[in-house]
């Protein structure tokens, strides 16, 4: 799908963004392992999370859509049955990696497949520790999907993750829950902790310290009522757009502001953004707030180190903010972006440079010379990556002239309402 996008005047009003993708995947998977009915309100209906839903259905889990949400009738670990076909994870790394951990301990054969992008992503990072736990997991020779798993009795391990990855951490927790003996995990830097919060609330025996997670298996997971907050990763596009477009004042309601996800707010504030959190509360174990954003003059900054995992999916939209801010910016320690749905460092720099930006790719980051009112409309491509599509949409709003965005349908991966919402906000431009 191609879209023509024009520059926009002030963004004003109140919006809600799509539900949190990470929490939606986890709510489905963890509920499937509990015994009894769990409810998930405000589940994200998008391609990635629906891939998880379909895979669990193939594994015999009973999931029904009833107002006001989904009802998952879990029958415990033994309730999972061998699927009669390949499990199609679509574009979703979270689906593939989390299910790999889960299925490694189930006594049947599973084959996990996906689209071309998912088949390019590294699976070795999950396979290696799962094998140390006794799993029989196979991939293509270069450690890429499809994955073939023959479930085995697993044993707990002590393991330091080579990368700060919540997908990997959660896969190992799912394996550890079924293992004999304790699993102890540590990460180079903290990644999102939704799994720890949700599993603890469901009764799992998790001991969390500042630098480790200890899981003692054996407890049954109890069903839960989950309420999924708005996704801060989806809100980020509107935070940057409202910051950059003069005269904007936008209230984004009900956004998840878990501290392991709020790196983008901290960096934007450091760049001069006017972002205020209102009505902060805790809903279902997750901090939630309304995010009020007023336009402000942004200036360049440098980011790197432990804040990167706390804003890992927001680096492309941060690059747009930096390209339109005043002065030099630098992003370091972001090599993980090269193995996301696309090589996001390459994708965002090539596409933004077509719009007149000055973005230089570094092996593990970006060097950006920003200039306000400098971007110009151009023909750009999402490269099939939802986060690149939405980042370029924001760049188009602040550019001079019209932008032609190809591959605009990629937003359906995480935020199917994105174009509709943008249209309603920019109708009077
Ligand atoms: C996710 C973790 C992150 C993130 C992805 C969702 C999750 O991936 O990029 O969009 O739900 O656990 P990594 O764990 O690979 O960093």
Q: Is residue 158 part of a domain?
A: yes
User: Does 303 fall in a domain?
Assistant: yes
Residues 57 and 201 in one domain: yes
Separation between Cα atoms, residue 149 and residue 51, nearest integer Å: 18
Is 192 found in the same domain as 140? Answer: yes
397 shares a domain with 352:
yes
Q: Which of 190, 215, 240 is the last residue of a domain?
A: 215
The token pair that represents 220 in the structure block:
């049954």
The enclosing H or E element of 70 equals strand 69-75
**For range 242-268, the mean pLDDT:** 98
Q: How far is the CA of 378 from the centre of ligand 1 (A)?
A: 31
Contacts of 323 (CB under 8 A, 6+ apart): 352, 357, 358, 359, 368, 370, 371, 374, 375, 395
Are 209 and 83 members of one domain? Answer: yes
- Residue 159 Cα to ligand 1 middle (Å): 19
44 and 160, same domain (yes or no): yes
Q: Is the pLDDT of residue 428 over 80?
A: no
Question: The dihedral of CA 253, 348, 369, 423: what is its sign?
Answer: negative
**Residue 6 scores a pLDDT above 90:** yes
Would 349 be classed as within a structural domain?
A: yes
* pLDDT for 67: 83
For residue 429, pLDDT beyond 90:
no
d(CA 53, CA 162): 29
Q: Of these residues, 20, 290, 313, 412, which one is catalytic?
A: 313
Confidence class for position 68, pLDDT limits 50, 70, 90: confident
Residue 224 in any domain: the answer is no
Q: Kindly state whether residues 245 and 147 are assigned to the same domain.
A: no
Q: What are phi and psi of 109, to 5 degrees?
A: -90, 135
Average pLDDT (236-241) is: 98
Pocket of ligand 1 contains residue 110 by CB under 6 Å: no
**64 and 202 share one domain:** yes
* Residue 343: active-site member: no
> In angstroms, what is the span from residue 185 Cα to ligand 1's centroid?
17
**What is the total count of domains within the chain?**
2
- What average pLDDT is seen over the chain? 97
Of 91, 93, 169, the residue with max ligand 1 atoms within 8 A of its CB, to mutate for a pocket test, comes to 93
Q: Is 398 part of a structural domain of the chain? A: yes
* CA pair distance 259, 237, nearest whole angstrom: 18
**Residue 22 confidence (pLDDT):** 98
Q: Span 214-243, mean pLDDT? A: 97
pLDDT-derived band at 427, boundaries 50, 70, 90: confident
62 and 174 together in one domain = yes
CATH number at residue 402: 3.65.10.10
> Which residue in this structure is represented by tokens 């980042």?
391
d(CA 16, CA 116): 32
The verdict on 179 and 260 lying in the same domain is: no
Q: Which of 303, 407, 414 is nearest to 365 (CA)?
A: 303
> 401 C-alpha vs ligand 1 centroid, how far in Å?
35
Residue-range definition of the domain harbouring residue 203:
21-215
Contact between residue 192 and residue 258 where contact means Cβ atoms under 8 Å apart: yes
173 lines ligand 1 (CB under 6 A): no
For residue 203, pLDDT over 90 is answered with yes
- DSSP at 145: S
Q: Is the CB of 236 under 6 A from ligand 1?
A: no
pLDDT exceeds cutoff 80 at 320: yes
208 and 269: one domain?
A: no
Which of the 8 DSSP states describes residue 190? -
- At CA 281, angle to CA 276 and CA 286, rounded to 5? 105
Q: How confident is the model at residue 394 (pLDDT cuts 50, 70, 90)?
A: very high
**Mean pLDDT (whole number) for 126-144:** 97
Gap between the Cα atoms of 82 and 188, Å rounded: 35
In this structure, the answer to whether residues 15 and 25 fall within a common structural domain is no
Are residues 13 and 26 located together in one domain of the fold? Answer: no
pLDDT digits (tens, 9 = 90+) for 7-39: 988 999 999 999 999 999 999 999 999 999 999
Q: Is 94 in the pocket of ligand 1 (CB under 6 A)?
A: yes
Q: Which of 48, 189, 192 to mutate to test the pocket of ligand 1 (most atoms within 8 A of CB)?
A: 192
Answer yes or no: is 220 within a domain. no
Choosing from 188, 215, 242, the residue where a domain stops is: 215
pLDDT (tens digit, 9 = 90+) per residue, 89-101? Answer: 999 999 999 999 9
Residue 221 lies in a domain: no
């Amino acid at each position: 799908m191609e879209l023509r996008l024009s520059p926009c005047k002030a963004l004003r009003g109140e919006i809600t963004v799509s539900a949190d993708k990470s929490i939606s995947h986890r709510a489905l998977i963890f509920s499937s392992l509990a015994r009894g009915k769990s409810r998930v309100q405000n589940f994200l209906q998008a391609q990635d999370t629906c891939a998880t839903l379909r895979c669990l259905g193939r594994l015999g889990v009973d999931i029904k859509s009833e107002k006001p949400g989904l009802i998952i009738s879990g029958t415990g670990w033994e309730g999972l049955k061998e699927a009669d076909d390949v499990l199609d994870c679509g574009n979703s790394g979270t689906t593939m990696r989390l299910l790999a951990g889960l299925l490694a301990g189930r006594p049947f054969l599973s084959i996990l497949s996906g689209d071309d992008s998912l088949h390019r992503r590294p699976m070795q990072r999950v396979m290696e520790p799962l094998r140390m736990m006794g799993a029989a997991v196979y991939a293509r020779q270069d450690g890429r999907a499809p994955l073939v798993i023959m479930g085995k009795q697993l044993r707990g391990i002590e393991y330091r993750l080579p990368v700060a990855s919540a997908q990997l951490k959660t896969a190992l927790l799912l394996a550890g829950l079924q293992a004999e003996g304790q699993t102890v995990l540590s990460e180079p830097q903290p990644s999102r902790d939704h799994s720890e919060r949700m599993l603890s609330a469901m009764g799992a025996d998790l001991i969390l310290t500042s630098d480790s997670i200890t899981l003692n298996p054996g407890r049954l997971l109890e069903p839960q009522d989950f309420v999924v907050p708005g996704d801060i990763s989806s809100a980020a596009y509107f935070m940057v757009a409202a910051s950059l477009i003069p005269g904007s004042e936008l209230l984004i309601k009900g956004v998840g502001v878990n501290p392991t996800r709020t790196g983008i707010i901290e960096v934007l504030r450091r760049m001069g953004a006017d972002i205020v959190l209102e009505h902060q509360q805790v809903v279902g174990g997750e901090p939630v707030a309304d995010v009020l954003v007023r336009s402000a003059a942004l200036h360049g900054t440098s980011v790197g180190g432990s804040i990167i995992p706390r804003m890992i999916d927001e680096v492309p939209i941060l690059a747009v903010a930096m390209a339109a801010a005043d002065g030099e910016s630098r992003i370091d320690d972001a090599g993980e972006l090269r193995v996301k749905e696309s090589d996001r460092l390459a994708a965002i720099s090539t596409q933004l440079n077509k719009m007149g930006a000055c973005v230089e790719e570094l092996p593990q980051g970006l060097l950006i010379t920003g200039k306000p009112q400098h971007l110009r409309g151009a023909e750009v491509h999402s490269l099939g990556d939802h986060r690149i599509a939405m980042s370029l949409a924001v760049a188009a709003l602040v550019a001079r002239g019209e932008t032609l965005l190809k591959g605009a349908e990629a937003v359906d991966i995480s935020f199917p309402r994105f174009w509709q919402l943008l249209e309603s906000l920019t109708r009077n431009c």
